[in-house]
Amino acid sequence: MDFRLTDEQQAFADAAREFAVGELAPNAARWDAESIFPKETFRRAGELGFCAMYAPESIGGLGLPRLDATLVFEEMAAYDPSTTAFLTIHNMATWMVGTWGSDTLRAQWGEALATGDKLASYCLTEPGAGSDAGSLQTRAQRQGGHYVINGSKAFISGGGDTDLLVVMARTGEAGPRGVSAFAVPADTPGITYGRKEEKMGWNSQSTRPITFENVEVPAENLLGEEGQGFVFAMKGLDGGRINIAACSVGAAQGAYDTARQYMQERKQFSQPLAAFQALQFKLADMLTHIVASRQMVRLAAHMLDSGNPQASVYCAMAKRLATDLGFQACLDAQQLHGGYGYLKDYPLERLVRDTRVHQILEGTNEIMRVIIARQILEKGVDIR
C-alpha cells in the first residue's frame, strides 16, 4: 500500500497551508475573541476552490475525492479549527445541492455556493432530535407547486449569517423513511433566528436555533425525491465525520508543532524542557497518535471514495479515534506549556476549546461506538 501523496495532492495541501498561514493564522485569535464570522475569508477560500472541493463540476465544484478534501481541512485546522469546521459544513451543503438539486436550483445557487459568494448551513438537529435524527419533527407539506415548512432546528452553524439552508423535514411517515431534504433561502418569510449561542469554542462561526413558521419553498427546491432526505443526511454524515476527524488531526498537529518548538526554547533547571525524558515521552505519544489518526482518516476517506460497503463503519471509527486522540493531543500540548498554555497569548487554550466539540458533533463518540458495535455483531467488519 502506497501512503505517499501524489504530486497533485501535495500541491493542493501546500496551497491550503499557504492560505491558512496567510488568512487564518493572523486572524484566528481575534475572530475567536470577538466572535467574528469571516465571510470575506470564505470568499477568498472559494477563489481557490476550497468552498466546493467534492461538489460536482457541473456547478463549478472541483469534483475531488474526499481524501483530497481531508488534506485541505487538516492543513487549515492546524491554525483555526473553528473556521475550518464551518468550511467543511459549507462544502457538505454545496455538495448536496450540486448532487441532488433540480436543474433550476443548481442554476440559481450552484455557482454562488461553489465560489463562496453565498454560504450554506446544514439543518438536521432539532431540540428533541439529536443523536436520534430519524425522529425529527419539522414537517413539510406539499401544497400545489410549493411546500410549507413548520418546525424548529437547533445548533445550526452559521445560522443567521448564511444565505441558504439545507433542511431535513418530514414529508411522510414516522421514522427515517418519511424524511425529505430541501434547499431553503435563508431570508424566506417565516424563518426566525434565535439568539446567538454563547459557546465554549467555535466562536468564529455563529450557532443559532432556527424556527420555521409556514415557510413556503418552491417544489423544485426539494433535493432528490420525497423520502430520500434521511439517506442524503446519512451520506452527508459519513463525509462529515471524516471532515471533522481531519480537523482534529490538523488541530493536534498544530498543537504538537507549537509544543515541540516551546520545549526546545523554554528552559527550567538550566536546561531546555526537551532535555527531560518524561516530557520527551509525552511528545512521542502525541506524534504517534497524530500519525495513527491521520492514517485512519485517510483509510476511511479512501473507502468512502471507492464505494466500499463498509465505509460507514470506517468513517465512524475514524471519527471516534481522531477526535478523541486529537483532543488529548491538544490537552497534552497545553500541559507542556505549563501556565503559559492557559493564556490566550498562546494558541493552545483555543485549540483545546475548539476541538472539544468534535467529540460531540456529527454524532457523539458514544454513537460512533454504537455504529461500530452494531456492525461487528450483525455483519462483522473486514479488517484485512
Q: Which residues are catalytic?
A: 362
Give dist(CA 203, CA 24) in Å, integer. 14
> CA 352 to CA 289: how far, in whole Å?
16
What letter represents residue 104's amino acid? T
Q: Which residue has the cell 420555521?
A: 212
Which of these, 216, 51, 240, 225, lies nearest to 143 by C-alpha position? Answer: 216
How many C-beta neighbours within 10 Å does residue 59 have? Answer: 24
The C-alpha cell at 328 is 488529548
* Residue linked to cell 450552484: 110
Which H or E element spans position 79? none
Contact present, 176 and 134 (Cβ < 8 Å): yes
C-alpha cell at 178: 418519511
Residue listed under C-alpha cell 448532487: 99
d(CA 133, CA 125): 7
Task: Map grid coordinates 423513511 to a residue.
Answer: 177
**Residue 207: φ, ψ to 5°:** -135, 120
d(CA 167, CA 180): 8
